Structures are given as C-alpha cells and as structure tokens.
Chain A
Amino acid sequence: MDYFLTEEQQMIKDLAARIADERVKPVAAELDEKEEFPWELMKVLGEADLFAVWVPEEYGGLGGGVLEQALVVEELSRACSGVAVSYAASALGSFPIILFGTEEQKQRYLPDIASGKRLAAFALTEANAGSDVSGIATTATLDGDEYVLNGTKQWITNGGEADIYTVIAVTDKTKGPRGYSAFIVEKGTPGLSFGKKEKKLGIRASATREVIFENCRIPKENLLGREGQGFVITMKTFDRTRPGVGAQAVGIAQGALDEAVKYARERVQFGQPISSFQGIQFMLADMATQVEAARALVYSVARWIDSGAKDVSQAAAMAKLFASDVCMKVTVDAVQILGGYGYMREYPVEKMMRDAKITQIYEGTNQIQRSIIALDLIKKAARKNK
C-alpha cells in the first residue's frame, strides 16, 4: 500500500531497508546466538545518517520526527529487532533533550547523537518501579553546584553501551511523581557503573543492563527542564517513542509474514505446495491484513504527532498496543505455518516470535496502554457531559 511518504521519507525507508537486507539479515541469527551488541551495525547506521532523522536540523539532524524514526525502526526490525531497538533506544534517550533541553544542552549532546558517534539511553525502570512509576527510589540531591545521584536503574536498553543517559530520579520525596526530575548523565562520570548484562528471551543483540549510581555527582546544569518535571518529561517522551515500538512490532510481523509466504510456496505436502491449501491461505490473509492495519495506524499516529498535535498519549498508546498484539499473533502464526522447521533455529521465525513478546511489555505493558486509552475516553466523556 502507498502511504504517500515524501520523497525524503521514502529515501529513508529504502536506505534502511537496504541496510536491513544487506547488512543486518546475514548476521541476525549470529547476533542473537552470541548476544553480542551490534556496534559494527551501529556504525553503519551512523554513516548512513540514520541517527540524524529525528534530530532537528539546528543540532546536526535532518529535521524529521516520529514517522522518520518509525520508518527506520520498522525496516531494521524486519531483519533483526535487537538491532532495531539498540537504534531506537538512542531516540528514546534523546527525545527528552530535544523536547526539554536548554539550547546549551541541545548543542552539547544532539550533534553527537545525530551522527551516531554517541548512543543515548533512557533510565527510568527500577526493581520496584515499572508500570507503577511511583516506586522510584533513585534520588538526586542538590549539593552546591552539583546533584548527587544514588540508586539503581534496571533493564536499561543500551546500558553500558550508551554514552548519554537520561535519568529519572526523585528530587522531592514528599511530592510523589511530581517530585521526579530528569537528568543527563554521561558515561565516565565517577559513581556511574553498570551491572550484569541480562539474559533475555528475545532482542538478544541489544544490551540490557543495570545502571548504578553511587554518589554520582553531575553538574547542576544537567537537570532537564525544571525540578519536578521528570514525570511529564517521561510521558511526553513516551508519546513520541511508543509509535516507534509499534513500528518495531510492524517490522517484526512483516518479516515473519514474508518468511511464512516464502515457505508456504516452497513446502510441498500431499503433492502440492502448502500455499494451495485454504487453511494456510486464510492464515496468511489474516496475517497480512493485520500487519497492514497496524502499519496504517502507526504511520497515522506518527504523522499526527509530528504535525505538532497535543494530547496524543491515547493515540500513541493505541499504536503501540495494537501493533504489538498483532506482532505477537502474526509471529506465532508464522511459526505454525513453518511447522517443525519454524520451531528450529535454522529458520528465522522462532527468533521473531521471541522478539515479538517484548513489544507487548516495554515502554508500558499493554495493560498500561489500555488503561491510558480507557482513562482518556472516560475523561473526555466526563468533560463533554459537564
């Protein structure tokens, strides 16, 4: 289907597709097996200017937004979503700076992110703070011209690999989430260290680690926005990155669908290719329809956000929710169509099925997305009836 992308957007998508097919696909299984961070591929993406697509032109970017980032993530995910999420996490870590950074902060950090020279990461989750962010225990205390950070962040994508961390910490315990603030912490700062690399079900090429702060002192100027804005910064950031998770889901699902169609045409049983059986045909038809619907939603939401729309949280949640549920279903069906072969690691679909699961979990579980969507509905209805 034609989504009427601009010439530049089409160029971005085509380039990402080329890199996915020529560079990522051939090494995807190996990266998964070895759980190796794909630095070489990050370099390729950097040289291709793909880290620049969501960064404003004034700061060394190409001036695109959520849609451009989503196009790249989708294409990379078709080949390996572990690679795609390592790329996307840099967007997640940099959106707080783009949205809330001072001119000086933007000048200082964004050009290196745009060139791919430095990766970014976003550090929110803790052992007792996931869906319920009110459990955050990491603190930041102002001491003269410095904030002192203490606490441990968990499951941080690009942890240890990224150079720039956007960190959410408590500056005022008495205020709950309104007492959270966001900070920029650079790798190499004394007191910042990294825990063990997590062993995961999927997206195994990506690095997921603890990020530990022990009397980690950062200059006062590294506060993003104002004290107490941490929660708002987080939500505004997720509004821009959840469609990206949706794009990741669309990409994985498209990859699985492609494999399923290819296999169904080749695999002969009962004297004919299994693609001639209506049972298989109907499965493929449903998969393709769902993937297209998910893509249409993700692109529409991304475009809408890029237009400068406000109050986009519900739509962003819908894009992430719908696409990730489609992704899980489509990848399970792809494994089913490939049968025994689908279950084996020699074929790529079992990895896609493993990779799919995380899209229903991170950046807010799909239950949290449903809460956001429902509360928004109810709130709007209540306002109308007043």
Chain B
Amino acid sequence: MHIVACIKQVPDPSQARIDRETGLVIREGVDKIINPYDLHALEEALRIKETKGGKVTVLSMGPASAEQVLRDAIAMGADQVILLSDRQFAGADTLATSYTLARAVARLEDVNLVICGKQAVDGDTAQVGPGMAAKLDIPHITQVRKLRELTEDKLVAEKLTDRGYEVVEVPLPAVITVVKELNEPRIPGLRGMMRAKKAEIPVWGPEDIEAEADRIGLKGSPTQVWRTFEPERHRKGEMLEGTPSEQAAALWQRLRSL
C-alpha cells in the first residue's frame, strides 16, 4: 500500500505574534514546527505501513527551510520525501496549494491513500485536504478520528462531528484529513535522526509536476488577504451594586436591553 502524508511547516503557535503595523504574522525568530495535526497524519501513515506493508511518501510545499520538517518525517520513518519548492509556488492560497499538491500526488505511482492534518494551525482553513481530493477527482473524508477497516480498495472510517461521529465508507484511492484523537505521534529514534541528517531531500518545481503556470502560486490564487488584525479586546467589567435581588433586577434589565 502506498500512503502519502502531506505536512506543512508552521510557526510554533505558542510563540506566534502579529506585527501590528503590517498585520502580518511575525516569522522571524519564531521556531518552526510540523503542523501538529499533520504529525497525526504522518503517524497514521506509518502505522498503516507497519501493519499492512507498503511505503510512505511525505510531501510538503514551502520555502527551502521546510526541508527540516521532511527530515523530521524521515526520522520518524518516512520512506520517501519530496519538497515542493519554487519561487513560482510562493503566495499560494488554498486553491493553488490544493492544485499543486494534487499534481504532485498524481506524479506518484499507485497511491492508495492521502492523509492530511485536518487543518494547518497558521491558516486554519481546513480546505487543502478536500481541495486536493477535488482536483484528483477522488473521494475524501474530513475529521477522521479512527480507521475501522482498510483494504487495497476500501476505507471505513469514523468521522468526528459536532454531536458524535459518523461512519463513512469510501472507495480508494481517497483523501482523508485527521484529528488529534486518531493516534499519538511517535518520538523519532536516534537511528532515524541520524539517517535524516544525512538524507538528500529532493526538490520538485512546477515542471516536475507539469503544473500550469497560472494555477500555482500567487497567479493561481484568487484569494487576497485584505487585512489581518488582532481582535481588539473588550474586557470592561462592570460591578452591579446593591442587595442580591437589586443586582439580579439590574442584570435582567441589562440583558433585556442587549
């Protein structure tokens, strides 16, 4: 079985700050990590390989520095990694990203399953997984919390919903996006880390995936960010005075007038 995991390098959300002047996320001096949800995607891909055999390919699109997350993936046990990196890919919105990743998957042989994190913690759109499935014209399940049954041509999975979960069956190949409940990502071993340090990371550009120039990067991105800003915090407390019943009456009045 050939499983593809898609991972993204993101700024560590615990250190994230926004530049008030420009409205952009400050990336300098912030540690970069694998998007936390993607770790679960990669872990599941590795577990499938371990129980059913096959191989795991990991894709990431990003600047040259994103090579590091692919090294981390090798350390964890990925068999093959590919970095999609080119100036023409830059500035991609979710549409262009979905297209680019889908083109890359299409270049790989006999892919049975593509696994993504449910969303990236920097953009929080949750669109790229389903977007890829649309471009590849294959089914998808989002918010997967458990794989119930997996064969060469069929997947039955539990999909997390607001009220509980749904059991969904899809023919393969398919794309799934996963939530944190799915598994606990492994800590890589020393041998894996040493292997990762020495590994060559292949880089693919637009021509390697035969991408149409106006569908990638900024050119292929109809979404324009108009403004980014930190929400203003309104935390003006007001104390209600008087006896408990007077306070209750005052509160009632205030609520009614909202």
Q: Which residues of A contact B (CB under 8 A)?
A: 8, 11-12, 15, 18-19, 22-23, 44, 47-50, 52-53, 62
Q: Which residues of B lie under 8 Å from residue A19 when comparing CB positions?
A: 187
Q: Is chain B's interface secondary structure helix, strand, loop, or mixed overall?
A: helix
Closest A residue to B193 by beta carbon equals A11
Contacts of B186 in A (CB 8 A): 47
Interface residue ranges, B against A (CB under 8 Å): 186-194
Residue of A nearest to B192 (CB): A49
Q: What 7 A-B pairs are tightest by C-beta distance, nearest first? A: A49-B190, A49-B189, A48-B189, A49-B191, A47-B189, A48-B187, A11-B193
With A and B bound together, what is the CA distance between A12 and B187 in angstroms? Answer: 13
Across the interface, do B187 and A62 meet the contact criterion of CB distance under 8 Å?
no
Which residues of A sit under 8 angstroms from B193, Cβ to Cβ?
11, 15
Interface centre among A11, A12, A23, A48 (most CB of B within 10 A): A48
CA distance A50 to B250 in the complex (A): 65
Tell me the complex Cα distance, A118–B27, Å.
Answer: 45
Say whether B191 contacts A47, CB under 8 Å: no
Residues of chain A within 8 A of B187, CB atoms compared:
15, 18-19, 22-23, 44, 47-48
User: In the complex, what residues of B have CB within 8 A of residue A11's CB?
Assistant: 190, 193-194
A62 near B190 (CB under 8 angstroms)?
yes
* CA distance in complex: A12, B193 (Å): 10
7 contacts between A and B (CB under 8 A): A11-B194, A15-B193, A44-B187, A48-B187, A48-B189, A49-B190, A49-B191
- Closest chain B residue to A64, Cβ basis: B190
Q: A80: shortest Cβ distance to chain B, in Å?
A: 16
How close is B141's CB to chain A, nearest CB, in angstroms? 29
A44 to B190, CA, bound (A): 12
In Å, the complex CA distance between A254 and B188 comes to 25
Tell me the smallest distance from the CB of B153 to a CB of chain A, in Å.
Answer: 32
Q: Smallest Cβ distance from B83 to chain A, in angstroms?
A: 23
Q: Chain A residues near B189: list those with CB within 8 A.
A: 15, 47-49
Cα A62 to Cα B193 in complex, Å, equals 13
What CA separation (Å) do A23 and B184 show in the bound complex?
Answer: 11
Chain B: CB-nearest residue to A68: B190
Distance to closest chain B CB from A375 (angstroms): 39
Tell me the bound Cα distance from A22 to B193 in angstroms.
18
Q: How distant is A11 from chain B, measured CB to nearest CB, in Å? A: 6
Add 7 more A-B contacts to A18-B187, A48-B190 (CB < 8 A). Answer: A22-B187, A44-B187, A47-B189, A48-B187, A49-B189, A49-B190, A62-B190
Per the bound structure, the CA–CA distance linking A8 and B189 in Å amounts to 12
Q: Which residues of B contact A50 (CB under 8 A)?
A: 190
Nearest residue, chain B, Cβ from A62? B190
User: Inside 8 A of B191's CB, which chain A residues have their CB?
Assistant: 49, 52, 62
Residues in A with CB closer than 8 Å to B188 are 15, 48
In whole angstroms, what is the CA distance A52 to B186 when docked?
18
Given the complex of chains A and B, what is the CA–CA distance between A52 and B194 in angstroms? 14
A44 to B187, CA, bound (A): 8
CB distance from A71 to the nearest CB of B (A): 12
Residue of B whose beta carbon sits closest to that of A23 = B187
Instruction: Report B-chain residues with C-beta under 8 Å of the C-beta of A22.
Output: 187
B240 to chain A, nearest CB (A): 30
Min CB–CB distance A5 → chain B (angstroms): 14
Residues of B within 8 A of A23 (CB): 187
Q: For A62, what are the chain B residues with a Cβ–Cβ distance below 8 Å?
A: 190-191
Pick from B189, B191, B193, B194 the residue with the most CB of A within 10 Å. B189
Kindly name the residue among B187, B188, B191 whose own CB sees the greatest number of chain A CB atoms within 10 A: B187
- Determine the chain B residues whose CB is within 8 A of the CB of A15 once the complex forms: 187-190, 193
Return the chain B residue nearest A44 by Cβ.
Answer: B187
For A48, list chain B residues within 8 Å (CB).
Answer: 187-190
Q: How far is the CA of A8 from the CA of B193 in the complex (A)?
A: 10
With CB as the reference atom, state the residue of chain A lying closest to B189.
Answer: A49
Query: Shortest distance in angstroms between B140's beta carbon and chain A's nearest beta carbon?
Result: 31
Chain B residues within 8 Å of A8, by CB? 194
CA distance A31 to B192 in the complex (A): 29
> What is the bound-complex CA distance between A62 and B187, given in angstroms?
18
In the assembly, what is the distance between CA of A52 and CA of B187, in Å? 16
Assembly CA distance A52 to B189 (angstroms): 10
Report chain B residues within 8 Å CB of A18.
187
Smallest beta-carbon distance A320→chain B, Å: 26
Rounded to whole Å, the gap between the CB of A20 and the closest CB of chain B is 11
